[in-house]
Amino acid sequence: MLLIVLAVIVSVVIFASFCVFFDQAVLTRSGTIYRVKTDKKMVALTFDDGPSEVWTPLILDELKKAGIKATFFMIGRHVKKYPEIARRVVKEGHLIANHGFAHCVMLYYQPPEIEEEIKYTEHIIKEVTGVTTKYFRPPKAWLRREIKEHIKSLGYEVILWSLNSKDWVNFNHKKIVRYLSRKVRNGDILLFHDSGNVFSTEGGTRNQTVKSITLLVKTLKEQGYEFVTVEELING
């Protein structure tokens, strides 16, 4: 019994350390857009896993106060559940992008399965908001190189990130902002979440994410940065 408890504790510690100290996106970046080479002091804030009934509206309020636009990589089944919130995101001028329907790890998916995830989500988002998505972010960044080519053939760009806020394991918004403002460079794509927690894409608290927006925007604006959507960043 003691051995089982120890094994569980060790597994949790290893998993937590992996989450905190390592960003798996560095392993799968090739063939994707994870930052944009530019001389302009521009960065893009991105929010994954929403819409959430609770947190997306609060994040939208903060973005509105800050007067900036962001990009939301939405999960198809969450758009189905909270269509009004998805519509609000579009109405307020933000970019909606595709994060698949069920948030499955797609590392071993075959082209038809990937196509179904992306196209079904595209259909839902189009029906709810009128927007046809062009940018796709694979859940947890896991994707094989061959599959990236297939996604491009569907008319999509695969978007990852260059700076990970780790807002799903970091519970102090000042630390999040300190880390990001120290690391930030022109053309960075910053990862946040507007739904979920360590174990799930729903529920959880995004309180630190909400709190970090105002402070981050203030800090980076002082450094001369402008906030744009992923599309604006790519188009320069």
Residue with the shortest CB distance to Zn ion: 48
**Which is the catalytic residue, given 23, 103, 193, 194?**
193
Interacting span for Zn ion (CB under 5 A) from 29-37, 46-54, 88-96, 180-188: 46-54
What is the tally of helices (H) and strands (E) in the chain? 10, 8
| d(C-alpha 149, C-alpha 34), whole Å | 16
- Write each residue from 92 to 131 as x if it is in contact with Zn ion (CB under 5 A), else as -, in one continuous string: ----------------------------------------
Looking at the Cβ atoms of 57 and 196, the one nearer to Zn ion is 196
- The distance of Cα 32 from the centroid of its chain, to the nearest Å, equals 14
Residues touching Zn ion: how many (CB under 5 A)? Answer: 3
Q: How far is the CB of 75 from Zn ion (least distance, A)?
A: 7
Looking at the Cβ atoms of 49 and 117, the one nearer to Zn ion is 49
Q: Is 48 a catalytic residue?
A: yes
Mapping DSSP onto H, E and C, the string for 67-92 reads CCCCEEEECHHHHHHCHHHHHHHHHC
Is the separation of the CB atoms in 16 and 169 below 8 Å? yes
Pairing of strands 189-193, 163-164: parallel
Q: How far is the CB of 156 from Zn ion (least distance, A)?
A: 16
DSSP labels for 106-162?
-TT--HHHHHHHHHHHHHHHHHHHSPPP-EE--GGG---HHHHHHHHHTT-EEB--S
Q: How far is the CB of 103 from Zn ion (least distance, A)?
A: 6
Interacting span for Zn ion (CB under 5 A) from 41-49, 53-61, 90-98, 183-191: 41-49
- Three-state SS for 13? helix
- Three-state SS for 15? helix
Binding of residue 50 to Zn ion (CB under 5 A): no
Q: Is 193 a catalytic residue?
A: yes
Subset of 142-161 contacting Zn ion (CB under 5 A): none
Count Cβ neighbours within 10 Å for each residue of 101-132 and write b for 16 or more, e otherwise.
Answer: bebeebeebeeeebbebbebbbebbeebbebe
Q: Considering only residues 23, 49, 62, 188, which one is a binding residue for Zn ion as defined by CB under 5 A?
A: 49
2 CB neighbour count, 10 Å cutoff: 6
Interacting span for Zn ion (CB under 5 A) from 25-33, 47-55, 157-165, 174-182: 47-55
Q: Considering only residues 25, 34, 48, 56, which one is a binding residue for Zn ion as defined by CB under 5 A?
A: 48
Looking at the Cβ atoms of 48 and 194, the one nearer to Zn ion is 48
Using CB under 5 A, list all residues that contact Zn ion: 48-49, 139
Q: Which residues are catalytic?
A: 48, 193
